[in-house]
Amino acid sequence: MDRVLDLTPEKLAARLSQDGSGRASWIRVDGRLAASHPALEEVTSFLEEGVGGARGHEAVFLAVAPTSGALLGAFVHATARGQAQGGLRRAPYPDVQSFLADGLRLSWGMSRKSALAGLWWGGGKGLIAWPGDRSELEGDARRTLYQEYGDFVSSLDGCYVTAEDAGTRPEDVASVFTRTRFVTCIPPELGGVGNPAPATAAGVVRGIEAALEAMGRAGLAGRRIAMQGLGNVGAAMVDLLLARGVSGIAASDISAERCGELSHRWRDAPIEVRLTSAGDPSVLFEPCDVLVPNALGGVLGPATIPRLQTALVCGAANNPLEREERDGAALQARGIVYVPDFVVNRMGIVQVANEQSGRLAADPEVERHLDPNHPQGIPAVVKRILQRAREDGITPVEAANQMAERLAREPHPLFGFRTREILQALHRSGWATGRPAAER
């Protein structure tokens, strides 16, 4: 029989449906992840070992979307600071191993991001495996899938709070919201703060400015930028960079429609918009002052780092390094300053962190993260990490991880370890049996 890790997500979903519940879980009990099904024990060692530094997760939950049969996932990393929170990514995955690895890395990133930002949230991530060979999801089918993801989140009793991420649109979040209260990035017309892309872009630009200042190269005026990815965050970032007087931007995207629209929008600006195919790394090798990876992760590794022509790497993409420890050291060996993604792309979670407490047009709880003088703001944290890396002779990745791991262990002042109690209750009551909460 094929290893579970080698199955496609569709095949694993079919197996879970065959056992009747359509669910599976790994919940940490007495220091060890306990699998809900004996047949899934082979996956436990993979989850415990983790990917890179992404280990020590408190729980992983899988379920099958009843209508489409898509595999759904919720990953819970560290919850001392509060409920696990992280966006919902919908993407194709060739096998279960890549699906789980993505969830492990992304939820770990959210733990570090919230801790360094001083937020009382833990780290989590949601995934929907949607095969690339299926037709694009629209209309009632799309709405139903996201509503069913909302049902999945509700079944977890609040240990995981979802949000918007790649592949998920604001209207999808609204669909999730019809089935669960454990969701953020809710559209403004429903009382939420909406799309966090502009805030995320602002945070990364502030991080770039802080890094340049720490390098003795203050200011973006006259700098040349290379950017991979022109989604909502990338486009908002271009506007901010142009306003700061950069000398030129080389930017790529894989969408012909997007490239056409943005080329027209910036037709009089010093920017070259390039249409590239998926997997084309050419823009990464542009001579530039700052390289800004804004697409998906894993783009910087042994095949690309030796070809970089930049002094600084700082972008919005989650997990741009293939392997953090190895690739962070490779960048440092080349004299390239690397600012970890989870340090500067925090503004998405920052914007929604207090969504349940109401909203303000210029929320001071959001604006302080962009304030160069605030001790927990992005500029100050960037400078602190780069200074610590220099003084201790370590990479910025190592410095950021050390700081984040210490902060992530601090318990929430009111609800410390409540989420862990919820996880233990889900284990004791047999969540993976599929029984409704009222019967568990």
Cα 332 to Cα 212: distance, rounded to the nearest angstrom:
16
Range with lowest mean pLDDT among 100-104, 165-169, 209-213, 307-311: 165-169
Residues 170 and 84 sit within 8 Å (Cβ to Cβ): no
Query: Measured between alpha carbons, how far is 199 from 189 in angstroms, rounded to an integer?
Result: 19
- Residue 11 appears among annotated catalytic residues: no
Q: Where in the chain is the domain with CATH 3.40.50.10860?
A: 4-195+419-439
For 9-23, what is the mean pLDDT?
92
Answer yes or no: is pLDDT of 438 > 60.
Answer: no
Say yes or no to pLDDT of 2 above 70: yes
Distance CA 106, CA 27 (A): 18
pLDDT for res 437? 58
Token pair of 213, please? 């200042």
Token pair recorded at residue 136: 């694009």
Confidence band for 1, pLDDT divided at 50, 70 and 90 = low
Check pLDDT > 60 for residue 439.
no
| Check whether domain 197-407 has CATH 3.90.1150.10, yes or no | no
Q: Which has the closest alpha carbon to 185: 362, 236, 193? A: 193
Second CATH level (architecture) for the domain 4-195+419-439: 3-Layer(aba) Sandwich (3.40)
How do strand 23-29 and strand 59-64 relate by DSSP bridges? antiparallel
What is the structure's pLDDT at 53? 85
Catalytic pick among 11, 113, 125, 383: 125
* Paired residues of 124 in beta bridges: 76
394 to 55, 315, 380: CA distances (angstroms): 21, 21, 19
Q: Which of 172-181, 289-298, 351-360 has the lowest mean pLDDT?
A: 351-360
Question: d(Cα 43, Cα 259) in Å, to the nearest integer?
Answer: 41
> What percent of the chain shows pLDDT beyond 70?
98
| CATH 3.40.50.720 intervals, the chain | 197-407
